[in-house]
Amino acid sequence: MPREGRSLTDVQPEVAASAPVPPPPPGPPAMSPVELGRWAWRQLTSMRTALVLLFLLALAAIPGSVVPQEAVDSLRASGWKADHPGLTPVYERLGLFDVYGSPWFAAIYLLLVVSLVGCIVPRSAVYWRAFRAQPPRAPRHLGRMPDHRRYETADAPDDVLDRARSVLRARRYRIRDIAGDGPVEEAGDAVSAERGYLREAGNLLFHISVLVVLAGFAMGSLFGFKGGVIVVTGDSFSNTLSQYDDFAPGRAFAPDALAPFSFKVDSFDVTFIRKGRSAGSATKFFADLDVQPTPTSAPRRQRISVNHPLTIDGTKVFLIGHGYAPHITVRDGKGNVAYSGATVFLPENEAFTSFGVVKAPDAEPTQIGLRGEFYPTYAFTMATGPFSAFPDAKNPAISMLAYSGDLGLDNGEAQSVYALDMKGLKPVTKADGKPVRIDLALGKSQTLPGGLGTVTFDGLSRFVRLQVSESPGSKIALAGMVLALTGLLASLFIRPRRIWLRARRKGDRTIVEVAGLDRSSGGDLTGELDQILGALEPKESRT
């Protein structure tokens, strides 16, 4: 009883304060290194992790299609770096200019391979056991199955079962005989049959084919190469490292493995749409090459076009682009030819307005540099200035700025042929101080002020941009994709089915029960059972 003047509510806090506090429940014991490793392996090899890694791999490949890749188009990548000087160091640190060769992409790739191997190997054993398994015993009460038939016949049970085996085997069912099957009061011999085992084989084939595809891509990236080169019509190319504009070998590629072929670009032809909304688009373009598979073999003519590459000893040569190469001659102040030849100008838009540079390091009294644009069909408006009105060479013209000084070619540093090193150059100016612009139509010349020389637009050629690549694992990857498609179709369209037939003698009649189960979702065996019963006993009444 509480003391006088105090309520029960006043006593309860004292009791609660004096009562011992139970210790907290013990937490889970810490995992040992072995247990932690097993847990991590189970997480890595789960199907959920494999799907997440596959999604991450697809997500990681997005920058490879958005950011110019140096291994695919080094010229475009260099242009992007020049246009985005602030982002370039960040992108280079992240490896975004070589996504597929970056460490983080390789880490996702390898984790996916390990996850798939750890997932597929155990499941392969499960699939194999399911593929080899015998049909299960018949249910005790066939009348409770979704699809059920029952009829009586004067034939002996053995005769009925023999006919059932023949019919089911003809329909590609796997057969299992069961003696004394069913409830005690309705026991009889039975036949259990099943088909659709290849569905499990399709699942197994699909999972294994994913590994085959990954192995093919890995083999190609290790032992293959990809290179790019621009060749002016009339010039030749030999498959050596020094001939490439850019070259990206695999990690295990050996340069001496290059096939010793060569070819000359004899001609290039392109057809442009001239009317309608698609005017200016190329309908087709192709190049004719004189190919020598070996240095001692006779040349043979080969035409290449988009999606129709040249194949030599496993190496493919793709036609991926084209453009113009104006013939420009620079004479110095002494009248000597300081530069002459076809100069590649790189297209900048669909109308083939193209950018290029000319370097004349042998000019005297000072070196000369030119940079500007080429217009296949020159046009001019006050609002836009000079532009190309059509991609075909209908009115070719060149507009360039002139520079003099040191081109920077003598300091030993590598330099792009499509850019001028402006550190040692200054613009060539007129008497009023304005920069000199060289505007030339085909066949015209212009004199540079200050006795520097002349510039002439002599002619025009086309060039082709070629991609030369070898991927040893391409056939393996293709085979893996075919196997994956085959396995996927098998797992989608093969319907596993089970049929049970039980026959028992009752008096002078044989009672036959037939039931079926379609293990695929939404399956219906009504037609299947009717056809089986029609082959067994077409004249008997069935219920």
CA distance 31 to 37: 9
Q: Own/partner pairs for 352-357, CB < 8 Å, 24+ apart?
A: 352/323, 352/324, 352/376, 352/388, 352/391, 353/387, 353/388, 354/323, 354/324, 355/418, 356/326, 356/418, 357/417, 357/418, 357/419, 357/420
Residue among 469, 354, 357, 461 nearest 73 (CA): 469
Question: Residues with Cβ < 8 Å from 221, sequence gap 6 or more?
Answer: 100, 101, 250, 251, 473
Token pair belonging to 530 = 């009717």
CA distance 499 to 168: 9
pLDDT, position 485:
92
Main-chain dihedrals φ then ψ at residue 379, nearest 5 degrees: -145, 160
CA distance 426 to 434: 12
Main-chain dihedrals φ then ψ at residue 134, nearest 5 degrees: -80, 155
CA distance 367 to 406: 6
Residue among 85, 81, 69, 66 nearest 416 (CA): 81
The number of angstroms, rounded, from the C-alpha of 251 to the middle of its chain's C-alpha atoms is 19
Which three-class secondary structure state does DSSP give residue 388? Answer: strand
For 282, 391, 485, the CA distances from 221, given in Å and listed in that order, are 33, 37, 23
Main-chain dihedrals φ then ψ at residue 150, nearest 5 degrees: -150, 135
Residue among 542, 543, 499, 496 nearest 145 (CA): 499
Question: Residues with Cβ < 8 Å from 196, sequence gap 6 or more?
Answer: 494, 495, 496, 497, 519, 520
For 263, 305, 464, the CA distances from 288, given in Å and listed in that order, are 10, 9, 11
Main-chain dihedrals φ then ψ at residue 226, nearest 5 degrees: -145, 130
pLDDT, position 276:
80
Token pair belonging to 457 = 């637009």
Q: Evaluate whether 369 touches 425 at the Cβ level (below 8 Å).
A: yes
Q: Evaluate whether 187 touches 178 at the Cβ level (below 8 Å).
A: no
Q: Helices in 97-136 by DSSP H: which ranges?
A: 103-132
Q: What is the pLDDT along the chain (543 residues), one digit of tens a residue?
A: 445 555 545 555 555 555 677 777 776 677 788 888 888 888 888 878 888 988 998 898 898 888 888 776 776 787 788 788 888 889 889 888 888 878 898 899 889 888 888 888 887 788 778 778 888 888 888 888 888 888 888 888 888 899 999 999 999 999 998 887 666 556 678 899 998 888 878 878 887 888 898 888 888 888 889 888 999 999 999 999 989 988 888 888 888 889 999 999 999 999 888 888 888 888 888 999 999 999 999 999 999 998 899 999 889 999 999 999 999 999 998 899 999 999 999 998 889 999 999 999 999 989 999 999 999 999 988 888 899 999 999 999 999 999 999 998 877 677 778 888 888 899 999 888 889 999 999 999 999 998 899 999 999 999 999 999 998 888 899 999 999 999 889 888 888 888 999 988 888 888 889 998 887 765 677 888 888 888 886 444 444
CA distance 430 to 372: 18
Hey, what domains does the chain have and what are their CATH numbers?
A: 33-130 (no CATH), 135-194+495-536 (3.30.310.80), 223-322+467-486 (no CATH), 324-458 (no CATH)
CA distance 266 to 461: 12
Q: Evaluate whether 393 touches 324 at the Cβ level (below 8 Å).
A: yes
Question: Residues with Cβ < 8 Å from 446, sequence gap 6 or more?
Answer: 438, 439, 440, 454, 455, 456
Report the DSSP beta bridge partners of residue 386: 380
CA distance 71 to 98: 7
CA distance 195 to 531: 16
Strand ranges (E), 162-211: 174-181, 188-195
pLDDT, position 35:
82
pLDDT, position 10:
52
The number of angstroms, rounded, from the C-alpha of 54 to the middle of its chain's C-alpha atoms is 13
In the block, which residue shows the tokens 């009649």? 509
CA distance 254 to 156: 76
pLDDT, position 379:
92
Q: Evaluate whether 371 touches 413 at the Cβ level (below 8 Å).
A: no
Q: Evaluate whether 458 touches 444 at the Cβ level (below 8 Å).
A: no
Number of neighbours of residue 470 by Cβ within 10 angstroms: 23
